[in-house]
Structure 1
Amino acid sequence: MKPSLKTLLAFSSLLVGTAAHAHIAVSGTGPAIAGTSYEAQFTVGHGCSGADTYRIKVAIPAGVTSVRPLDSTFGKAVVEKDANNNVTSVTWTRGSTAEVLPADTHAHRLVLRARMPDAPFTTVYFPTTQTCRDAQGAETTVEWVGTSGGHDHGGDAGTTPQAEPAPSLFVYPKRTPGWNKYTVEEHVHDFTVFSDAQIVWAGNRAFSPNPVTKGLIESDTDTDELTEIHPGTEIWVKY
């Protein structure tokens, strides 16, 4: 480590955001930490082609355990389990069709608690089925199952299932104040995952979200800028 950078390791940065950029998004208070419980809030931003949402079914991916949903004003939660008693999905449905709003005027929020997989630096996807119901009783289904990150805003207006981005959470590593050593098993190219770090080191390469520290990294001839991390790379991160 270079002396010119040591003096700046006391700088801190902004809190991490965890919301996925989709019309059904999942987020929570702070980052989802590997191997720990997390309260995930699913926000249903809109209905389907003017119709209100009637039912939401969230598939629980492998590795996400100890799932406990919360009932909401939207409706009660029902869980499905496999032969090993693992929760495979959670479905929230309106108490009756009479509770469905006459138009797509409201957003809805649904919550569950679960233990995140012990797999830091990975993304967990929650494939979700949204069913809407219009004033005439016709139902429209949208499948939020895509994992490519793309989104076709007009594609959710059809009457057949359409591929849309699945709600997702990035799993962050456990950390303590000070230096933390990790071996990254997944390719990391989105460095917003380190937005709450002071500095990240991998060999003679470094990254910092702090613009002053970043400037010193760029000006230090013995230090290269860290722009991506390949699987199997050992890194040091100071929080």
Structure 2
Amino acid sequence: MNASLRLSLAAVATLLCTAAEAHISVLSGPFIAGNSQELTFNIAHGCSGADTFRIEIHLPEGVTSVRPLDSVFGKAALSKDANGAVKSVVWTKPAAEVLPGDTHLYRVGLSAMLPNKPFTTLYFPTFQSCRAADGTESTVEWIATGGGHDHGGGTGPSANPAPAVFLLPERAPGWNKYTVDQHVHDMAVFKDAQIVWAGKTAYSPNPLVRSLIEREPDTQMLQEIHPGTEIWIKY
């Protein structure tokens, strides 16, 4: 990186955020591998006009120390395996509080210790149950992985993508150096970074910084990262 681009980057103070997704998604983050963090799940809509009355979230391997938050659905119920590890969390709304139609946005949350596996994606298969005004119940299974909501990769959108989070390594303000041991297809996972450098390629979520990259001599836009690649990230 030459001095002119470095000075230009220093003048960029605001980064753009990505738009909220319409499916069940995780709003909180960024998520740091090996840390205990709070995850907030956004339930943007019901099922074909019916109100949501139950949310069941399954936890991926390596997620431990789970502590759910009670919500408008009531107290959270935990399902554990034979060793006492939490495998899923269920929130169920009292029958008398189920609405006659799909009119509300819901959120549920939990805190958990995330596995120390940076540059990997964690999927949280989620089952959304709804009840219509006539009492008819239906369930939508948000369990697909590897599609458009796969934060680390994938080639196209999945019909019912599971909520997912992408684990980033520990970072400090300024420049951070890492060796990536996973294939990262979706550069949007670095949405809170100022710039990502890998050899003679670079990426930024900020349009102004991207325009600087495009004008930088002998530099191309970074579109994916292969395993074993050394990268520099500025936060």
Name the counterpart of 1:45. Answer: 44
Q: Which runs of 5+ in 2 are unaligned?
A: 149-156
Change (3 A) 1:174 1:166: same
In the alignment, the residues of structure 2 paired with residue 55 and residue 208 of structure 1 have an alpha-carbon distance, to the nearest angstrom, of: 39
Name the counterpart of 1:138. Answer: 136
Q: How far did 1:110 drift?
A: 0.9
In the alignment, the residues of structure 2 paired with residue 108 and residue 67 of structure 1 have an alpha-carbon distance, to the nearest angstrom, of: 20
Name the counterpart of 1:93. Answer: 92
Rg larger in 1 or in 2? Answer: 1
In the alignment, the residues of structure 1 paired with residue 206 and residue 193 of structure 2 have an alpha-carbon distance, to the nearest angstrom, of: 9
Q: Does 1:227 align with 2:223?
A: yes
Name the counterpart of 1:161. Answer: none
Q: Which runs of 5+ in 1 are unaligned?
A: 153-163
Q: Does 1:204 align with 2:200?
A: yes
- Pairing 1:1-239 to 2, within 5 Å after superposition: 1-10=1-10, 11-14=12-15, 21-28=21-28, 30-95=29-94, 97-147=95-145, 148-149=147-148, 150=157, 152=159, 164-239=160-235
More deviation, 142-151/83-92: 142-151
Q: How far did 1:175 drift?
A: 0.7
Change (3 A) 1:89 1:7: same
Identity of aligned residues (%): 60
Contact 1:124–1:171 (Cα < 8 Å) also in 2: yes
In the alignment, the residues of structure 1 paired with residue 15 and residue 138 of structure 2 have an alpha-carbon distance, to the nearest angstrom, of: 40
Contact 1:184–1:230 (Cα < 8 Å) also in 2: yes
Contact 1:4–1:216 (Cα < 8 Å) also in 2: no
Q: How far did 1:79 drift?
A: 0.6
Contact 1:53–1:131 (Cα < 8 Å) also in 2: yes
Change (3 A) 1:50 1:16: closer
Q: How far did 1:189 drift?
A: 2.9
More deviation, 4-13/224-233: 4-13
More deviation, 195-204/97-106: 195-204
1:47-93: per-residue Cα shift (whole Å, max 9, x none)?
Answer: 22222112111000112221110111222100111123221100001
Name the counterpart of 1:156. Answer: none
Contact 1:34–1:172 (Cα < 8 Å) also in 2: yes
Change (3 A) 1:217 1:140: closer
Aligned-residue RMSD, C-alpha: 2.3
Q: How far did 1:135 drift?
A: 3.0
In the alignment, the residues of structure 1 paired with residue 126 and residue 17 of structure 2 have an alpha-carbon distance, to the nearest angstrom, of: 24
Q: Give the aligned residue type for 1:34.
A: A
Aligned residues: 225
Secondary structure in structure 2 of the residue aligned to 1:76: coil
Structure 2 length normalisation: TM-score? 0.84
Q: How far did 1:15 drift?
A: 6.2
Q: Give the aligned residue type for 1:25.
A: S
